[in-house]
Structure formats: C-alpha cells, structure tokens
Amino acid sequence: MKKKVMVGCLFASVILLGACQKANTDSAEKSSAKQSSSYIKNASSSTSDSKTSDSSLRKQNNEVKDSSDSTSNTISTAQQQLIGKRFFMVPSLYDGEDANQAMEENKAPQNLIHDGAVNFSFTNASTVHVELAGTYRPDYDTSYTLTNNLLIIQHRNIPYSIKNGLISFDSWETDMNGHTITWSFGPEENSSYANTNIDTKNLTSEQFKEWVSAVLDKQFSMGRNSFPYKLTVENQDGYAFVRVNHSEQQIDTLAMFRINSAGELEEEDRSNGYPVTYKVVSSKFMDTSEVTVMDK
C-alpha cells in the first residue's frame, strides 16, 4: 500500500512538472510574439518617418534646384543681350540749386573722371571694353561679373532685371562730396542714352581721337604732308591731350591737340616759338570747316 502511494505521488509530480513547463513555454511564446509585434510596429514607424524625411529633403532640393535654374536662366538671358552691344552709363550731376557751385568746385567737366559718362562694349562672356569720358584716360579691357540682379564691373554695381525676356536697367544713386548723383545705364540704340548732339566736354577717348583724325585728314588734303600716325590720349594739368606720333619712325612728337574748358578742339601752334600756344581748330565735334594748315 505504501508503495502504491509513493508511485502515485511520483506520477502526479511528473504530470505537474509537465504542466508547468508547458505554461512557461506558452508564456515565452506569447512574450516573443509580443516583442516581435512591437519590433515590426517600430520598424514600420521608422520607415514611415524615413519616407517623410526623404520627401522633405527632396522638396528642399527641388526648391534649391529651381532657384538655381532661375538664377542661371536670368544670367544667361542678360549675357546674351550684353555681348556684342554697347551701353552708356550716364550721371545726372548735382541736380538742384547748387549745380553751378558744384561744377565750379570740380573745375571743368573733363576733370570729372569718376562722374563723367562711361561707355561699355561687351566683348564676350567675361570681358568688357571700357571708355572713360572726363579726363579722357585711355580705353581699357576688364572683366565683368553677372549675378541674378547686378552687373558688376570693377567697383561699379549696376542693377538690372529681366522683364518679359528683355534686360532692363534701374537707376541708382551715389554720394560724392555731399552731392547726390543719380546714374542711368542703357543701350546705345536707346535714344535716351545715345548722344545725337555730342557733348564735347564729355567725350570718350575714341571720340576724341576720331575728332583729331578728322582734322588731320582735312589738313593732309590741304597741303600738310601725309604720314602714318598713331594717337595717344593723355591728361596734363587738367587738359585732355592727344599726342600725334609717326607710327613707323622714332621721331619727335608731330602734333599735340587738346580740349579746352569750352569743349573746343585746339592744336598747338609753334609758329611763334616757345612756349607754344594753342589755337582752336574745331568748335563742333567732327566739324572741320574751321581747319586751316598752319605753317610748320
């Protein structure tokens, strides 16, 4: 009897142990399933967040690209309309009641190198030919840069915009010695900038040389001996000069021309010895009606 009881207890213990192990297994499976579900949920959330972040990044990149494309198109359009063309930069000097006083302070207009009109001929996508009026310094080539709203030539920041595919320049102001100067910029063909009546007090270097060439040509036809010449623009003592040299021979200066404060073209007169004096040879731009041949 006692043996049977022991066997029964042992059998019950085995059954109880198996039941406990099954319960633990079920609990572990449920816990694992729960953790797996949570991992999948978190992974799904992470993927969703990643998609949102990627979408936002793509949107930002597209906006940057659109802005870059717009700037590039603006610069390209501006460049196409500049290359091969000539433009004028013209100041409105000292508007107001103090205009005459300001002009007296700054002497003759040809001394206003920083205020005088400037002509720009755009050679290619990076080079512009500059003609300075005022003190008639020699022309020169320099580089230029375009942003989406500024044409930058050395220290000059010239504002522009593109409207209906066409370049348009806005006026701007600078200050000089307490005077406000308003600048305008525009193409040669624009009648508001082109000089139909040339201001001989505000010529470009090329205009000055053209005027001297016209006088020389007239003198050659009237008896002065013709020679191959070269012209050099200079500035001496507030006057604009063109020095005439033989282009093939190393000889002394053949003639000197200058613009006086009245805007007239004068040629040196050596007929009375030294110091030389100057004589008006043309009062109007390219007009040679007053030209005569002086004794040499």
Q: Are 122 and 167 in a shared domain?
A: yes
Task: Answer yes or no: is 223 within a domain.
Answer: yes
Domain with 276 in it: 205-282
Statement to judge: residues 76 and 179 lie in one domain: yes
**Residue labelled with tokens 């009375």:** 272
| Low-confidence winner among 41-50, 113-122, 208-217 (lowest mean pLDDT) | 41-50
Same domain, 116 and 168: yes
The pLDDT tens digits for 63-89 are 666 678 888 999 999 999 999 998 988
Query: Does residue 104 form part of some domain?
Result: yes
Residue 178 has pLDDT above 70, yes or no: no
* Among 194, 229, 244, residue at a domain's last position: 194
Q: pLDDT (tens digit, 9 = 90+) per residue, 112-140?
A: 434 456 889 999 999 999 876 654 556 78
**Cα end-to-end distance, the chain, whole Å:** 163
Write down which residue in 194, 227, 254 finishes a domain: 194
Last residue of a domain, one of 144, 166, 194: 194
Strand runs labelled E in 36-93: 86-92
What distance in Å separates the CA atoms of residue 241 and residue 286, rounded to the nearest whole number?
A: 16
Rounded Cα gap, residues 276 and 28, in angstroms: 118
Residue 250: inside a domain: yes
Question: Do 185 and 248 have their domain in common?
Answer: no
In a shared domain, residues 188 and 48 = yes
Predicted structure pTM score: 0.49
86 and 225 in a single domain? The answer is no
Answer yes or no: do 162 and 209 share one domain: no
In this prediction, what percent of the chain has a pLDDT beyond 70? 63
Based on the fold, state whether residues 85 and 219 are members of the same structural domain: no
Q: How confident is the model at residue 96 (pLDDT cuts 50, 70, 90)?
A: very low
Percent of the chain scoring above 90 in pLDDT: 21
How far is Cα 206 from Cα 32, in angstroms, rounded to an integer?
A: 92
Same domain membership, residue 272 and residue 147: no
* More confidently predicted of 183 and 136: 183
Q: Find how far residue 227's CA is from the centre of its chain.
A: 41
Q: HSE, CB side, 13 Å, CA atoms: give it for residue 58.
A: 6
Instruction: Please state the domain count of the chain.
Output: 2
